[in-house]
């Protein structure tokens, strides 16, 4: 059976019927009318849409007189023209002001931080808003759980008993992670610019990740989970500091971290400066309980360059002298000195660009010995 339909096309007729009838398949009395027909509008879907679509999908041997009238070419031409008409209508459907990237960005900015649900709804409303709304929604994060929850069916939370603190909220792995599981998390993780992981009192209560961080660090398909991260505050817990390299990247500009002075943590600390090429703000929180700890922190500090703001406990004289030679250092906050000799000497240039100095030293003579090193600084 060939196409059986009747529809007016311009001034002609599209007539179809069973083979053997007088019409013998598809016959158009005015074939040029197919290509010139402009009766379709974006608000109407007529029978001729279906007819033309049907013709364009039929094999050429099923259409009578195809060699003579080229019905397939004419139908394809008309369908293409109508698709363009619909596309133009869709593009005119949204106000031109909303096509300005800066205005959409301002709208998304005002929806944060109190209306994250509205921002998520905006991302689902229109493709024109999708990318910018998601960028704002993921810009600041205070947990890794939001990224991990983008792997449905992979992780689960449970309450683990603890004899000291009661039940602990923990996250565990339900099944093996495959490559396809990373597609959505990595798409959202690239939007994160500021990440804060804090275990101090008052921090958001999140499930413990101690069970799954070892797995994530091994199966992560990229060098960093957050390739565009700019600010990192990392203090998840004493046993989780070793996983910080999983989230840092060379574009990091601000880093705040605290760690227990264990051999494992200090070993990781020695590898971090190689990852920092654009670091400008650094805060280090390490308690000096032994000479190896001071030596490890001193090596880390001496490998840092081009920082503009620095907060730390000075581990030894070598680290202090290196800090004094930093021509980019503008702000220095010293929490303590592990060892303060009677006279601190820093070869010239001596804190040449330093403008703001903050000392947390309670002993008067130690503070006096320290401040003499900043005599030539433009503080």
pLDDT exceeds 50 at position 155: yes
CA 250 to chain centre: 15
Asked if residues 330 and 311 have their Cβ atoms less than 8 Å apart, the reply is: no
Mean pLDDT of 57-63: 80
154-158, 193-197, 311-315, 327-331: least confidently modelled range: 154-158
Q: Where are the domains of the chain?
A: 6-92, 96-138, 253-379
pLDDT at 32: 41
**Per residue in 257-314, pLDDT tens?**
988 888 888 888 888 877 677 899 999 988 887 888 889 999 999 988 889 999 998 8
Closest CA to 162 of 215, 213, 208: 208
pLDDT exceeds 90 at position 193: yes
Neighbouring residues of 31: CB distance < 8 A, sequence distance ≥ 6: 12, 69, 70, 71, 74
pLDDT at 270: 80
pLDDT at 23: 38
pLDDT at 202: 47
Structure tokens at 88: 């133009």
Structure tokens at 320: 């202090």
**Per residue in 15-47, pLDDT tens?**
344 444 433 344 444 444 444 445 555 445 566
Q: Are strands 231-235 and 194-198 parallel, antiparallel or unpaired?
A: parallel
**378/373 Cα distance (integer angstroms):** 12
Closest CA to 131 of 152, 139, 232, 92: 139
**297/180 Cα distance (integer angstroms):** 40
pTM of the model: 0.67
pLDDT exceeds 70 at position 148: yes
Over the chain, what is the mean pLDDT? 77
pLDDT at 309: 95
**Per residue in 61-110, pLDDT tens?**
788 888 888 888 888 887 787 777 777 766 666 777 777 888 888 888 88
**98/107 Cα distance (integer angstroms):** 10
Residue with the bigger pLDDT between 346 and 152: it is: 152
Is it true that the peptide bond before 349 is cis, omega within 30 degrees of 0?
A: yes
pLDDT at 17: 42
- The 10 Å Cβ neighbour count of residue 85 is 14
């Amino acid at each position: 059976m060939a196409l059986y339909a009747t529809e007016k096309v311009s001034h002609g007729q599209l007539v179809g019927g069973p083979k053997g009838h007088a019409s013998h398949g598809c016959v158009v009395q005015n074939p040029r009318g197919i290509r010139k027909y402009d009766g379709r509008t974006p608000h109407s879907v007529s029978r001729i849409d279906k007819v033309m679509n049907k013709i364009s999908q039929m094999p050429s041997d099923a259409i009578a007189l195809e060699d003579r009238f080229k019905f397939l070419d004419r139908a394809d031409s008309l369908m293409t023209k109508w698709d363009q008409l619909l596309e133009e209508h869709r593009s005119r459907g949204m106000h031109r002001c909303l096509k300005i990237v800066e205005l959409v960005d301002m709208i998304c900015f005002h929806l944060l931080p109190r209306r994250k649900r509205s921002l998520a709804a905006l991302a689902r409303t229109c493709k024109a808003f999708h990318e910018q709304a998601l960028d704002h929604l993921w810009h600041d994060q205070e947990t890794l759980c939001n990224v991990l929850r983008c792997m449905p069916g992979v992780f689960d939370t449970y309450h683990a008993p603890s004899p000291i603190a009661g039940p602990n909220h923990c996250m565990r792995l339900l099944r093996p992670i495959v490559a396809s599981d990373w597609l959505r998390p990595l798409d959202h993780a690239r939007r994160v610019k500021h990440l804060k992981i804090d275990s101090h009192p008052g921090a958001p209560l999140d499930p413990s990740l101690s069970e799954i961080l070892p797995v994530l660090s091994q199966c992560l398909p990229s060098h960093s989970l957050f390739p565009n991260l700019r600010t990192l505050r990392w203090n998840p817990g004493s046993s989780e500091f070793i996983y910080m390299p999983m989230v840092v990247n060379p574009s990091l500009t601000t880093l705040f971290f605290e760690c227990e002075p264990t051999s494992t943590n200090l070993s990781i600390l020695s590898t971090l400066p190689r990852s920092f090429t654009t670091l400008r703000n650094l805060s280090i929180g390490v308690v000096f309980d032994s000479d190896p700890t001071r030596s490890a922190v001193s090596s880390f500090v001496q490998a840092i360059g081009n920082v503009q703001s620095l907060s730390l406990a000075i581990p030894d004289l070598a680290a202090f002298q290196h800090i004094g030679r930093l021509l980019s250092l503008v702000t220095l906050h010293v929490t303590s000195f592990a060892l303060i000799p009677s006279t601190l000497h820093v070869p010239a240039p001596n804190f040449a660009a330093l403008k703001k100095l903050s000392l947390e030293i309670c002993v008067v003579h130690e503070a006096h010995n320290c401040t003499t090193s900043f005599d030539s600084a433009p503080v």
